[in-house]
Structure 1
Amino acid sequence: MALTDEAIDKIKGMIISGELGPGDRLPKEADLAERLGLSRNSLREAVKALSMIRVLDVRQGDGTYVTSLEPNLLLDALSFVVDFHRDDKVLQFLEVRRILEPAATALAAERMTDAGIAHLQATLDRLGARPSIEALVENDLEFHRQIAAGSENDVLCSLIDGLSGPTTRARIWRGLTQEGAADRTREQHQAIVDAIAARQPEVARSWATVHVAGVEQWLRRAL
């Protein structure tokens, strides 16, 4: 089990057991991490994930609280997890991405202008050392959009752009729950840029396949 998943399970256990109830404030981060036997980083990522689905409410300068846990509060946020855990259509979108994006990346290695490659590298470089999940996913979407445009095939570019939306939520959840997902994404993106810059279409195709397949494989395991 990934460390973040373990942290989520432990906090969830405290809520289910009644140790923490609606409106209760969580202990200080250092105290809770020590008590649960977790690193502070794993605990922090778990809190971030649970706040996104409105189980926890992080109040700057005040602390972290359990929300009211009312169904109407949780329904919208939980639906983004439920709809891809119960509906395998997201996997089908990812399968199509795995077919199309490597082809676009190979074409970009042949056709993207030097200025386009420099812009692609600059997009990747804009990510800080520890980007938020939201910033990472936004950068990921822009990165792949630029590569599709670099293929100079308008039809392929439109198809890939249409596939981005249905898989965004899966990317966010993976980034929140899979240990090392952010670093892995950055490394694979850099390998793709390097292959495009070196005008090596088959190497670029291979790295793009590995990159997209990683999200698909994670989701298959999650399902």
Structure 2
Amino acid sequence: MTDEAIVRIRDMIVSGELGPGDRIPPEKELSERLGLSRNSLREAVKALDVIGVLDVRRGDGTYVTSLEPRLLLEAMSFVVDLHTDRTVLEMFAVRRMLEPGAAGIAATRMAEPVAEELQLLVDGIDASASTEDLVAHDLRFHQSIVESTGNEYLSRLIESLVSSTVRARLWRGITRVGAGERTIAEHRNILAALRNHDSELASALMLAHIAGVEQWLRKAAP
């Protein structure tokens, strides 16, 4: 019954009956309207509050949130943060599916100011940097590319996945000789493809870049 209540409220939002910032009807009125028990409705509201769809304000009522991508993906980011070593491989697999496509889109839309920022980022790091600095550089590089697609949902989704694989990349940087040099070289190649607006090459290079780390992790993981 709670699941049904969640679906019914969701449908009200999707249909436009309730929009961002709207106050939902009082519990008694809404339960009668949907033909659901007040207890089921109450549990549904709690669940939707947790994932950022509704905002329960004590003494004021319950409102639909702004429904911004950042807000809606926070719950997923929290779950991702609780990952185990085994699920890191699954996260890399998802990145391998999504980021090459993002790179391809970014290549078609790459504006010169963004390209210059990426160039400064790549030129500002070398293999002598600490493993922590190299990983931080990698995070900024990937996020900048995804943000340049102009798709905020995709950007926030990949951001949560990329940040969750930091530990694996730190491990790789410490234990694998030449990991820093390889990462920087691959970033330079990806950037060159982006600046040339070569979407197919940018996508292929990004795929190889992520798959390389994933392949290493599969061999290194117990």
Q: Do they superpose with TM above 0.5?
A: yes
CA distance in 2, matches of 1:110, 1:104: 10
CA distance in 1, matches of 2:189, 2:155: 21
**Structure 2, unaligned stretches of length 5 or more?**
1-81
Conservation of the 8 A alpha-carbon contact between 1:112 and 1:152: no
CA distance in 2, matches of 1:211, 1:109: 16
Residue 130 in 1 paired to residue 128 in 2? Answer: yes
**Structure 1, unaligned stretches of length 5 or more?**
1-82
By how many angstroms is 1:112 displaced? Answer: 2.1
* Paired AA for residue 176 in structure 1: I
Match of 1:189 among 187, 190, 212: 187
By how many angstroms is 1:128 displaced? Answer: 3.4
1:90/1:218 CA distance change after superposition, 3 Å: same
| Aligned residue number for residue 163 of structure 2 | 165
By how many angstroms is 1:165 displaced? Answer: 2.1
By how many angstroms is 1:154 displaced? Answer: 1.1
CA distance in 1, matches of 2:203, 2:98: 10
SS for the counterpart of 2:126 is: coil
Residue 198 in 1 paired to residue 199 in 2? Answer: no
Match of 2:94 among 93, 96, 100: 96
| Structure number, greater radius of gyration | 2
By how many angstroms is 1:87 displaced? Answer: 3.4
| Aligned residue number for residue 19 of structure 2 | none
* Paired AA for residue 168 in structure 2: A
Residue 114 in 1 paired to residue 98 in 2? Answer: no
CA distance in 2, matches of 1:87, 1:185: 22
SS for the counterpart of 1:179 is: coil
Residue 211 in 1 paired to residue 209 in 2? Answer: yes
By how many angstroms is 1:99 displaced? Answer: 0.6
Conservation of the 8 A alpha-carbon contact between 2:104 and 2:200: yes
CA distance in 1, matches of 2:94, 2:216: 16
| Aligned residue number for residue 178 of structure 1 | 176
CA distance in 2, matches of 1:121, 1:202: 20
By how many angstroms is 1:88 displaced? Answer: 1.4
Q: TM-score, normalised by structure 1?
A: 0.61
Q: Detail structure 1 runs of 4+ shifted over 6 Å in the superposition.
A: none
SS for the counterpart of 1:99 is: helix
Q: Deviations over 1:140-191 (max 9, x none)?
A: 0000010011111111111110101220000000011111110100010000
By how many angstroms is 1:192 displaced? Answer: 0.3
Conservation of the 8 A alpha-carbon contact between 2:127 and 2:181: no
By how many angstroms is 1:122 displaced? Answer: 0.6
1:144/1:126 CA distance change after superposition, 3 Å: same
Q: Deviations over 1:11-64 (max 9, x none)?
A: xxxxxxxxxxxxxxxxxxxxxxxxxxxxxxxxxxxxxxxxxxxxxxxxxxxxxx
| Aligned residue number for residue 103 of structure 2 | 105
Match of 2:141 among 140, 143, 155: 143
Matched residue count: 140
* Paired AA for residue 114 in structure 2: G
Conservation of the 8 A alpha-carbon contact between 2:139 and 2:163: no
| Aligned residue number for residue 154 of structure 1 | 152
**TM alignment of 1:41-120, pairs within 5 A:** 87-120=85-118
Conservation of the 8 A alpha-carbon contact between 1:105 and 1:208: yes
* Paired AA for residue 114 in structure 1: E
